[in-house]
Amino acid sequence: MRILAVVVIVCGMFVNVNAARAESPWIGVHFMVYTDKMLDQLAEQLPALSKRGVTHLILEINYHFAYKSHPELAPTNGITVVGAKKFADTARAHHIEIIPQINCLGHQSWKQNNAALLKHYPQFDETPGAYPDNKDIYCRSWCPQHPEVNRVVFALIDELIDAFEAKAFHVGMDEVFLIASEHCERCRGGDPAALFAKAVNDLHGHIVGKRGVQMLMWGDRLLDAEQTGYGKWEASGNGTAPAIDRIPKDIVLCDWHYEKRDRYPSLAVFLDKGFRVWPAGWKKPEAAEAFAAAARGCQNPRLLGYLCTTWGAVEIPNLADWPALLRPIEKIIAP
């Protein structure tokens, strides 16, 4: 078969189509795991997932690990170093890369409950003393300017990188609504974009600069909701979007959208800025399929493939046969 190198203009970029198809796509699954037992159950699905074409698993662990550096943050029945290594070894045997995750900056509470970091270090809260029982807010954030927060968080990140022998780490950072808060003595009156960029750059300096591994994050806070037409969940309406020009371009941006659209302008926004982009969908097969098709249509070598998020919508035993995973995979790896 003859191979022709063709240059086209798509998604606002000049792209060599032959180069765009040279590397195998990243087919990923994002899953929240809490215990060694869950890892064992997920390990049973690895042969089938690999057969379907899955190449990466993002394991969102957060504070569900037996942290040695900060045992006060460890649960009684969290993931152990032994469990992590066992799972990582099994995944590698099936040619699947493990990317551990701690959701950083935002998502430090859920409903009335604060996550472990703010429970044990309430001084890290971006809104200390405000919103009793977390009423009238979505999720709490930590203060990106607190002088001690990075020391604690970086130690947790190091433990997960080491336990899973990971080559990449996902820092989350989606849906950050509490930033530059009037309730924070350090951030009050600050520029949300500058504060968000500081948090990203601090994490990048440690993960990429010190540890030498790839950094990934959700991309929604780097999109302007008004300019892109996305809502305030999929894009920022609170001033963080200009941070896109203040962070390193070697970060992989996971661009999540869960509804079917005629177009996905975020793809062009991120590609035009020079980032690698990993499009992510969720539980609606038709929406996931449409987003995957739009991404594949861009024919850009910096569009990595497709990432399937789960968020409790599928049980582990059903994961490998989940239509919301299989249908977009067909669009990405179809000949």
From the list 284, 307, 286, 283, the residue with the least C-alpha distance to 295 is 307
**Any idea which of 100-104, 188-192, 331-335 has the lowest mean pLDDT?**
331-335
What integer is the mean pLDDT of 260-277?
97
One of 3.40.50.720, 2.30.30.140, 3.30.750.24, 3.20.20.80 is the CATH number of 24-333, namely: 3.20.20.80
Ordered DSSP codes for 323-335: HHHHHHHHHHH--
Q: What is the pLDDT of residue 129?
A: 94
Q: Which residues of 192-222 are buried (b: 16+ CB within 10 A; e: fewer)?
A: bbbbbbbbbbbbbebbbeebebbbbbbbbbb
Instruction: Count other Cβ atoms within 10 Å, centred on residue 92.
Output: 13
pLDDT at 11 over 90: no
Residues 197-251: tens digit of each pLDDT: 999 999 999 999 999 999 999 999 999 999 999 999 999 999 999 999 999 999 9
Segment (H or E) for 9: strand 7-10
Q: Give the rounded distance of the alpha carbon of 285 from its chain centre.
A: 20
Question: Which pLDDT does position 4 carry in this prediction?
Answer: 36
Contacts of 282 (CB under 8 A, 6+ apart): 256, 258, 288, 308, 309, 310, 311, 313, 324
Query: Residue 290 pLDDT more than 80?
Result: yes
- Return d(Cα 171, Cα 207) in angstroms, integer: 10
So what's the pLDDT on residue 15?
34
Confidence (pLDDT) at 14: 31
pLDDT-based confidence at residue 333 (cuts at 50, 70, 90): confident
Average pLDDT, the chain: 93
Tokens 């996971």 sit at which residue?
A: 254
Q: Classify residue 286 by burial, with Cβ atoms within 10 Å: 0-12, 13-18, 19+.
A: middle
- pTM, rounded to two decimals: 0.93
Tell me, what's the pLDDT at 42? 98
pLDDT digits (tens, 9 = 90+) for 146-204: 999 999 999 999 999 999 999 999 999 999 999 999 999 999 999 999 999 999 999 99
Domain boundaries, the chain: 24-333
Euclidean distance between CA atoms 17 and 272, whole angstroms:
17
Taking only the tens place, the pLDDT of each residue in 21-47 is: 347 899 999 999 999 999 999 999 999
Mean pLDDT score, 282-302: 96
The angle at the Cα of 167, spanning 325 to 306, to the nearest 5 degrees, equals 20
